[in-house]
A and B are shown apart, each in its own frame.
Chain A
Amino acid sequence: MEKLDWDKEEQKFKEIFSPILAINPEQVAMRRGRQQIFSYSRYSYNNWFTFSWLQVTPVVTFAVLVLLVGVGSRINEDPITEVYAMETESALIYEDISDAQMQVDEEGEIIGLDWDLDA
């Protein structure tokens, strides 16, 4: 019995509160919100793209670096490169002992080097 009374009371309250349903959003605001929903799909796509690219970039960069280091180490092992390195080293040795091998003109200007070590 009590429950029924409360149900009736609730119904009366619903009727009394019905004028509040006159509170409605502006049509302009509704349209703006609708546009946001559709722009959101583009935004989320861009976001997804950026996100994926950010995920992929470090992997690609790492792979390229590994490749470069690999190729670099192979180049260092190249016999031709080693010959160049030996020649450069030899040149430096000559430079160290060059005082004895220098060809100097009358005014003391260096005009050349004597590369013949046996000389």
Chain B
Amino acid sequence: MPEATFSQASSQLVARSKAGDREAFAKLYDEYFAVIYRFVFLKLRHKETSEDIAQNVFLKALSAIGTFEERGLPFSSWLYKIARNLCLDYFKKKSDVVVAEPEIFFPNIADEKMTAEESFDLQERVGRLLRAIDSLSDEQKEIVIMRFVQELSYEEISKILDKSEESLRAQNYRAMKKLKIILKEHGETGLG
């Protein structure tokens, strides 16, 4: 699902949710749960905790939907902002949390339709990418995930992180340079 665009349909669902329509909010949930879960999962690397936090994101959103105003910040960005804050709270409360190695969550990405070989190949690639992401600073990691995984625009990222687009671009370019070197070392050929 393209994250950068906030569809007219979503806008209507948000308006209906604000008026107290739970069915409309449930549709928003169906539309955004997976992307929010992925966003949280990439930060925490723990399946159950990520599911719980992703659910809390939506419960918080539901309790505060009356106060949400679009004013340039799409609903999805608002959800990311809540998710990011909940992740920060989680890390504050559990300062001893160690982010899991990519191998630990390999079974979570297995797809029933894939052959064993395809599944293994996918796991290898995801593991390689996550290890490369882990080599970045926390800030760069966040930007890279939002930009390349969540496919958010710089404008949206700047609103979520409260940073200027210029500084985000600069940080992302530095991160890309670093990632390019690491990924090439690990045999990634798609970077030219």
Q: Are B59 and A16 in contact (CB under 8 A)?
A: no
For A15, list chain B residues within 8 Å (CB): 190
Interface residues of chain B: helix, strand, loop or mixed (majority): helix
Cβ of B109 to closest chain A Cβ, rounded Å: 5
Interface size class of A (residues with CB under 8 A): 20 to 34
Known: A14-B148, A34-B30. 19 other contacts (CB 8 A): A10-B147, A10-B148, A12-B192, A14-B151, A19-B129, A20-B38, A20-B149, A21-B38, A23-B38, A23-B42, A24-B109, A25-B54, A32-B55, A33-B54, A37-B26, A37-B59, A37-B62, A40-B62, A44-B63
Q: Which residue of B lies closest to A9 (CB)?
A: B176
Give the complex CA separation of A51 and B188 in angstroms.
Answer: 59
Give the complex CA separation of A10 and B25 in angstroms.
Answer: 33
Give the complex CA separation of A34 and B144 in angstroms.
Answer: 29
Q: Are A33 and B148 in contact (CB under 8 A)?
A: no
Is the C-beta of B165 less than 8 angstroms from some C-beta in chain A? no
Give the complex CA separation of A1 and B131 in angstroms.
Answer: 31
Please pick, from B50, B126, B179, B190, the residue contacting A20 in the complex, using a CB distance under 8 A. Answer: B126
Q: Are B54 and A16 in contact (CB under 8 A)?
A: no
A interface residues (Cβ-Cβ under 8 A, vs B): 6, 9-10, 12-17, 19-26, 29-30, 32-34, 36-38, 40-41, 44
Cβ of A6 to closest chain B Cβ, rounded Å: 6
Is the C-beta of B34 less than 8 angstroms from some C-beta in chain A? yes
Known contacts A6-B173, A12-B191, A25-B51; A34/B37 CB under 8 A: no
Give the complex CA separation of A29 and B36 in angstroms.
Answer: 13
Is the C-beta of B41 less than 8 angstroms from some C-beta in chain A? yes
Give the complex CA separation of A16 and B176 in angstroms.
Answer: 12
| CB proximity to A under 8 Å, residues B135-192 | 144, 147-149, 151, 169, 172-173, 176, 179, 183, 188, 190-192
Q: Are A17 and B191 in contact (CB under 8 A)?
A: no
For B190, list chain A residues within 8 Å (CB): 12, 15-16
Q: Which residue of A lies closest to B192 (CB)?
A: A12
For A20, list chain B residues within 8 Å (CB): 38, 42, 126, 129-130, 149
